[in-house]
Amino acid sequence: MTESYGAVVFDCDGVLVEPTDTAVLIDAVVDAFAAFGVDIDRALAERTVTEDAVPIEAAREHGIDPEAFWHSRELRASLAQQTHVRDGGKSVYGDVVALSRLDASLGLVSNNQHATIEFLCAYHDLPSFETAYGRQPTLAGAAQRKPKPDNIERALSDLGVRDALYVGDSEKDVIAARRAGVDSAFLRREHVTDVSLSVDPTFELPDLEALVGQLSRPAGRP
């Protein structure tokens, strides 16, 4: 039953909305370097996106202050995603409506930019989350991304609970939940069908309908 969890906290990309097209994020990296007069190799830009890395050394090699670069990159990435959404990208998953059946406090914690999360929630009219965290456009904000538990812990503090479930679509999500001391649900949506996990989530489910069904079962029933 949902009362077994005081709160259910969700990742955003790949859970509530479709993942961002990688090309959109690569373009943002290229544009950020170009803003500082640097024509960066696109292959390097792609690596920073696919590896989810902050290109501090690349910025320094070109005489760019890493903090200034990262702020520029984050701004461009957020604006590019917002344009992508308005053009029909990052659609909301149809099963998000199932969350209305959950009898628990709802939170949102994402590795995407906080500005992007705010936009997605408003544009897609996502459920009313009592607390929501995305990363801040700073190097400190980047350092607090999952699998670090910082933002999950902040969300739990806001919600005033410790008995919570974190729902994500990556190994980082499962690890972050474990580090925060809460259960996890891994959604094996189409984009992660072939992903192998080195850590075990509390639940592995295909979608949000299955999640709500799992949490709605009477206690003691499989």
Q: Each residue of 46-72: pLDDT tens digit?
A: 999 999 999 999 999 999 999 999 999
pLDDT at 217: 73
Domain coordinates of the chain in residue numbers? 2-19+91-216, 22-86
Q: Each residue of 22-47: pLDDT tens digit?
A: 999 999 999 999 999 999 999 999 99
Distance CA(10)–CA(17), nearest Å, equals: 11
Q: Each residue of 97-134: pLDDT tens digit?
A: 999 999 999 999 999 999 999 999 999 999 999 999 99
Is 9 a residue whose pLDDT tops 60? yes
Which of 148, 55, 74, 147 has the alpha carbon at shortest distance from 117? Answer: 74
Q: For residues 14 and 192, is the Cβ–Cβ distance under 8 A?
A: yes
Average pLDDT, the chain: 95
pLDDT at 27: 97
pLDDT at 219: 56
For residue 135, give every residue at least 6 positions away whose Cβ sits within 8 Å of its Cβ, in sequence order, or none: 74, 110, 111, 112, 113, 114, 141, 142, 144, 145, 151
Q: Each residue of 151-192: pLDDT tens digit?
A: 999 999 999 999 999 999 999 999 999 999 999 999 999 999
214 pLDDT band, cuts 50/70/90, is very high
Is 2 a residue whose pLDDT tops 50? no
SS (H, E, C) 77-135: HHHHHHHHHHCCCCCECHHHHHHHHCCCEEEEEEEEEHHHHHHHHHHCCCCCCCEEEEE
Instruction: Please report which residue ranges of 135-202 form alpha helices under DSSP H.
Output: 139-143, 150-159, 171-180
Q: For residues 9 and 153, is the Cβ–Cβ distance under 8 A?
A: no
CATH number of 2-19+91-216: 3.40.50.1000
Sign of the C-alpha dihedral computed for residues 151, 135, 207 and 198 taken in this order: negative
Q: Each residue of 66-106: pLDDT tens digit?
A: 999 999 999 999 999 999 999 999 999 999 999 999 999 99
pLDDT at 1: 39
User: What's this model's pTM, rounded to 2 decimal places?
Assistant: 0.94
pLDDT at 4: 83
